[in-house]
Structure 1
């Protein structure tokens, strides 16, 4: 039985990679102008002389950057969620639910406001991620400090702290919206709902590097995360510096969330849903779960973006709305399962 399970695992990654390629090409092909698979593929190759110039511009300058940004941000959010759940040893931990996404969103919105005022002299790629990172880091540290005692981490306190941070972030965002000009107000409004429009190659490079580095970092510490699942004392007995590991995970997760939120806004529930799907497929071992989550996150967000562009075409919905519609029922199902487990105990 164990051999068959390992055999099935060996086919999961190739199948998901093929699925990601198929969904990626579909994302390039569909939209306000239906281009077709063959035309989309031809536009991505050096042999695109027969492709009309406007079609080539749509593929290479609009849809390809957007699809790549979807893939990288989906991977970032999923790996951040995996690290969060491993850090707090609870399946309900998520960057959005515990307020980290709210902190990153507030920081990024503040960066956009300062840029519009001319208060800072920096490019969009580097200034907004820095503000979003600071916001995510402060929110993560606050949740960790409030929810952790000598007895361990309290999920209830952690969730309540996340609610408080989300409420404060919402109030501060309202204040920023009040003082912002019309263009900045529109940018912040679309960005806070999660939007992948206007993807730039600078954002793609930044999120791509961040996604690769974060996935490698998480994979290298997969054994530490596995030991942490047993408990902090048990992990310490195994020779792991638990406090150093926690601080490192907090900073890295905050950096990943800051970059993701700065590039695409507030996209929720990806970091909550994907690790669970990964565990259902391959179990709790982080050596498999981390790369699997990265691929699944990229796949899910790309599918959500396709739905966002097609469901009300020729207009499009913010992708954060689609992920919320998919993730909220899943979160309710998790709460019901947790309630059943408590009742049976």
Structure 2
């Protein structure tokens, strides 16, 4: 029942969110435009709208952005939930493998060195280099954590911390010696997260990656439930922890890398939403995963609405808004001890 309610809430949120912005459009007008654009079926007098500025605002600007927020939010919560189970750590999030710092290094390199603007390699753009950086950091973490024996949750967390610090140091090094003020501003804005670059041609890749990952991970709930019981119990029950931990890390790295390359770094979503959902539906991943995916989609849709409307004729980086909401929520959960991680 809760999944059906949240699914309906996602659809309503999408329709409402495209109505809200610097140019206010009535809800029914947005609904008519969306139905006409998606199905070709006119509702009322659609003739004037079909060539009007409202159609351009909703169909070409707001709807791709709202859909990107929905997909990115779902992906971050999915990865956060999987990471928390894989490393058995309530503080785990999608960026625990140094993915955010690796992506930042790739984007900083692209922006400041100029590869994002010229040449065959540069034609691939900032998103390409951010994705390469994210995957490179994740690969280094997995290699570092596997040295000297099987990969453990503690070694993964420690390796992620090391790679995160290393990539951040290189990014700061590049920025420190750069003399491009506009480039520094671009790097800063990118690292705070933004959905402003949302376009229809960017949605298929991230949507396909997310769909495949969700369909696969929804059938992995038993393995993740076993992981929460601890390594010894999981091994006793016949779960190959070394294989599944690496598999989940690779899948999560791919999803997070695509999201970060498209939207920049959006913090707290993958950390907070799984805990909030866990406090409501419990730690069983069969219910936790789909509810977290839907709840996070709604959360990021509305935080993006706030980010693009709170400042007249401007917008806040969405990472600032999610942090302003996420940090107090997490402090409240800690005080109430309602995070319920692994039944603890």
Contact 2:102 2:167 in 1 (8 A): yes
What stretches of structure 1 move > 6 A for 4+ residues in a row?
A: 148-151
CA 1:91/1:324 → structure 2, altered by over 3 Å: closer, same or farther? Answer: same
Distance in 1 of aligned mates of 2:4 and 2:261: 31
Report SS of the residue matched to 2:198.
Answer: coil
**Equivalence for 2:48:** 50
Deviation at 1:236, TM superposition (A): 2.1
**Equivalence for 1:274:** 273
Structure 2 residues not aligned, in runs of 5+: 37-41
CA 1:182/1:57 → structure 2, altered by over 3 Å: closer, same or farther? Answer: farther
**Equivalence for 2:167:** 169
Are 1:285 and 2:275 matched, yes or no?
no
Deviation at 1:45, TM superposition (A): 2.1
Deviations 1:40-78 (A, max 9, x none): 111112224231521111111100110010010001101
Deviations 1:220-264 (A, max 9, x none): 211111111112222222222111101111111111110010000
CA 1:180/1:230 → structure 2, altered by over 3 Å: closer, same or farther? Answer: farther
Distance in 1 of aligned mates of 2:312 and 2:136: 35
**Equivalence for 2:105:** 106
Contact 2:79 2:256 in 1 (8 A): yes
Of 97-106 and 72-81, more deviation after overlay is shown by 97-106
2:8 to 14, 18, 36: 18
Report SS of the residue matched to 1:235.
Answer: helix
TM-score (norm 2): 0.84
Deviations 1:77-123 (A, max 9, x none): 01010111010112111134664322233234435553334261654
Deviations 1:257-314 (A, max 9, x none): 1001000001001000111122122111111111111111111111110111121122
Report SS of the residue matched to 1:95.
Answer: coil
Calculate the aligned-residue CA RMSD, in Å.
3.0
Deviation at 1:183, TM superposition (A): 5.3
Deviations 1:149-175 (A, max 9, x none): 8795349x93x6655544433332233
CA 1:154/1:323 → structure 2, altered by over 3 Å: closer, same or farther? Answer: same
Deviation at 1:136, TM superposition (A): 4.4
Deviation at 1:337, TM superposition (A): 6.3
Distance in 1 of aligned mates of 2:279 and 2:271: 13
**Equivalence for 2:195:** 196
Contact 1:104 1:132 in 2 (8 A): yes
Structure 1 residues not aligned, in runs of 5+: 1-10
Report SS of the residue matched to 2:193.
Answer: coil
**Equivalence for 2:39:** none
Aligned residues: 328
TM-score (norm 1): 0.84
Contact 1:225 1:286 in 2 (8 A): yes
CA 1:91/1:303 → structure 2, altered by over 3 Å: closer, same or farther? Answer: same
